[in-house]
Structure 1
């Protein structure tokens, strides 16, 4: 979304203050957009909608005299409650008029409401997000088409006419063909006119006229600019290699995952899917569901299949290892993985999962994110955990050993977007306080 203010600067207000106001208004819109993520259904996450921000937030700032400092003398009418020297307490916050909830006698003001299109909503929703460490590996063989300068051609569109090159060619041709200059013709014409006025030597006059006629003929024969002089800038299509990336989405759908937990995991992956398809053109997405066994599925099956069973996390990691070996060599691909689970795992699978991650998966990955989904009754601050599950302890030990893995936990759907943004925020983005 772009906010363009074309008003003239009023007296006493500078352009810098106006720009700060516009940035503050945009920040409030962004907060309002992000707060709606927790209240939407999964199918409505990428739609536009109506957004409201406080009316006070859209007022342009201005300077005014403060009433809090200095010495002020007031004359007030007498009453039975106060006498001279009594201190009058400040009215409690919200007791005065104003606000959308003001009484009938107040001058309340409703929130500022407006509608955002789908494109505007997604631009604000996904701003400052990116895949970490993208393109650190070798550029892959996938290419995009572009154009580059490829010299000049004798034909082309008028908009591509190379004026300087054409004039240079015309000058070179005129010099080579000894085309008479305009000043030479003018000088000869003036000399002939002077002889005619003075009645000079007729033989010399005829000689000058004959010379002038030859020069004019030569000038007409070799024009100032010839079509052969024209040159046009030439462009040719080229293929540029781009960095390829693949995102593995590993979701636990075992019997220990309640419907609430599955809803949280699906919301996380829906955000991830929207983010990847919106921001990147060359990112492959691989969906893997697992219980006691894992398999690669399509998008429809990943989000809607009711499959259930036991829990063996290493089955998903082995499936990912197999797919990477078959289709995505680490030396050519930027490999990412996002795993969602309730933290439950078979007691005999913890060491196997840790070994696969430490020795195979993490060395091949640019970034690995683990999201643990919990019960809505176990409410803690987003991103923290009070009870460490077996899978959390395994991943935490890897993280303490320096592995490039991020681990977070969510219990409510309103915590999904803040945690998602924390996992995939742009690392070099400056934090701006509105």
Structure 2
């Protein structure tokens, strides 16, 4: 018999390892339940976890038992209902099962409910965004003063006790003891040799005063050797730390939304959900990400998150005003050499016909050469208009960095989002 014992430490959460193994084992069932939950609930309700159920048959464990055949002696307990030779009635109910423990409930016995457990918020978001990433995230140049890492930078005689280098301090103490004791040991060896030589002399020629003097000298030298401290403050060495600039994976996401009169409240609600899902995605995967919110109708302006989602405006639609504003913000605040730039735009596709050509030129000549990715979602059940057709020419110019999809209803948000931000096998 072989026994396997897991002795790996797991101090705070004793069941954390087993929980991760369970989530990995039933990833298919859990992911299906998470996708159903995303389609069922509001995107604004994504902050909480989810209760997941797994069919009982899918969590059954293999059981080892004796196979048929062979001779076995079995002792069964007695009963008051049967005697030797009686035939046992077949259990009523559907066949093919393995007892009351399997299947649903009935009036003939007890059933087994599906195994249910609750995913935490972090685990829920992990399954929601599984396989997604911001495409073409690149490592930009060093960004001083903000992106630094404290690294060891040699040793010093001054420092705090928490940074003491025990190995180096002991090495320094050992070297000091050798250096301080060496001349004393040499003098001690000479005194011992002189005493032995004096004692080997003939008693007539031996000098008692010299012997007493040598013994006193030997005792003095031994005390000096014993007086050398094992470690001294002079021996202590401390690790020094210095701030070292690190390559930064910074990203900024521009959220552009049409708030003109053609955008109904339903369109705006769907756009809000898309950006909220995008915000959760960014928050989940990247620590150094900034969000810039740009609203537009005939004119565009940068607004706060609160105003972006909840303020109401009406008017016509000139999309180029928003693209021009995004370009100006990039030039002013986000140098291309330091930031990964992403734009997500939501619109119903309505735009002045003469302006759609301007939008195409702005994207091809100015914005796209600077951006890592541009995602455009058109929220409409109707046929595409001039803006969509002009954007199709941009897709031909930048097939890897420009993507566009159509959303008809709220249930399309999550599938479209996964398609826009699915993990690419290779990135430029």
TM exceeding 0.5: yes
Give the corresponding residue for 1:84.
Answer: none
Q: 1:129 touches 1:424 (CA, 8 Å); kept in 2?
A: yes
Residues 1:303 and 2:299 aligned together: no
Aligned equivalent of 1:322, options 322, 328, 333: 328
Structure 2 distance, partners of 1:214, 1:413, is 94
Give the corresponding residue for 1:427.
Answer: 424
Residues 1:391 and 2:387 aligned together: yes
1:177 is paired with a residue of what secondary structure? Answer: helix
Aligned equivalent of 2:128, options 114, 125, 129: 125
Matches within 5 A, 1:138-287: 138-141=141-144, 143-179=146-182, 206=212, 209-240=215-246, 242-287=248-293
Q: 2:317 touches 2:350 (CA, 8 Å); kept in 1?
A: yes
1:370 is paired with a residue of what secondary structure? Answer: strand
Deviates further, 306-315 or 233-242: 233-242
Deviation, 1:406, is: 1.1
- Say if 1:117 and 1:181 are closer, same or farther in 2 by CA, change over 3 A: farther
Residues 1:407 and 2:404 aligned together: yes
Q: 2:142 touches 2:246 (CA, 8 Å); kept in 1?
A: no
Residues 1:37 and 2:31 aligned together: no
2:354 is paired with a residue of what secondary structure? Answer: coil
Structure 2 distance, partners of 1:268, 1:27, is 25
Deviation, 1:239, is: 4.7
Structure 2 distance, partners of 1:64, 1:371, is 58
- Say if 1:133 and 1:26 are closer, same or farther in 2 by CA, change over 3 A: same
- Say if 1:116 and 1:205 are closer, same or farther in 2 by CA, change over 3 A: farther
Deviations 1:30-88 (A, max 9, x none): 432333122222431222343333333434467999xxxxxxxxxxxxxxxxxxxxxxx
Deviation, 1:281, is: 2.9
- Say if 1:338 and 1:158 are closer, same or farther in 2 by CA, change over 3 A: same
- Say if 1:60 and 1:393 are closer, same or farther in 2 by CA, change over 3 A: farther
Structure 2 distance, partners of 1:128, 1:357, is 28
Q: TM-score, normalised by structure 1?
A: 0.73
Deviation, 1:107, is: 5.2
Structure 2 distance, partners of 1:176, 1:266, is 75
Structure 2 distance, partners of 1:423, 1:248, is 15
Structure 1: unaligned runs, 5 residues or longer:
9-17, 66-90, 379-386, 430-434
What is the total number of aligned residue pairs between the two structures? 374
Structure 2 distance, partners of 1:345, 1:93, is 64
- Say if 1:7 and 1:147 are closer, same or farther in 2 by CA, change over 3 A: closer
Q: 1:142 touches 1:241 (CA, 8 Å); kept in 2?
A: no
- Say if 1:188 and 1:232 are closer, same or farther in 2 by CA, change over 3 A: farther
Q: Which of these two proteins has the greater Rg computed from alpha carbons?
A: 2
Structure 2 distance, partners of 1:132, 1:162, is 44
2:255 is paired with a residue of what secondary structure? Answer: strand
Structure 1 distance, partners of 2:177, 2:107, is 89
1:349 is paired with a residue of what secondary structure? Answer: helix
Structure 2 distance, partners of 1:350, 1:225, is 80
Structure 2 distance, partners of 1:236, 1:331, is 25
Give the corresponding residue for 1:68.
Answer: none
Q: 1:28 touches 1:57 (CA, 8 Å); kept in 2?
A: no
Q: 2:342 touches 2:371 (CA, 8 Å); kept in 1?
A: yes
1:47 is paired with a residue of what secondary structure? Answer: coil
Structure 2 distance, partners of 1:98, 1:410, is 46
Structure 2 distance, partners of 1:58, 1:156, is 57
- Say if 1:332 and 1:40 are closer, same or farther in 2 by CA, change over 3 A: same
